[in-house]
Amino acid sequence: MAKCDICGKTLSHGNKISIARSHVSRRTTRAFKPNLRRVKTLVNGQTKTIHACAKCLRSGKVVRA
């Protein structure tokens, strides 16, 4: 399962809407996946590979090894 080890961001669900966007358009469900990256980081003085989302990487919550 796709999950950020830092913030816990996971898969979320929503609707896929047709291009016409009319009142009677058909809607089907779709999945929004988080933008995860595998990064090597320091955890308790050891180098570990974790899954972190792009938002956590940009904000500086992850210290790369």
Residue boundaries of the structural domains of the chain: 12-59
Closest CA to 34 of 60, 63, 56: 56
Enumerate the H helices of 1-65 as residue ranges: 54-59
CB atoms within 10 A of CB 4: 22
d(Cα 57, Cα 48) in Å, to the nearest integer?
Answer: 15
The predicted model scores a pTM of 0.76
pLDDT at 20: 72
pLDDT tens for the chain, 65 residues: list them.
789 999 999 999 999 887 776 666 778 899 999 999 999 999 899 999 999 999 999 999 998 98
pLDDT at 21: 65
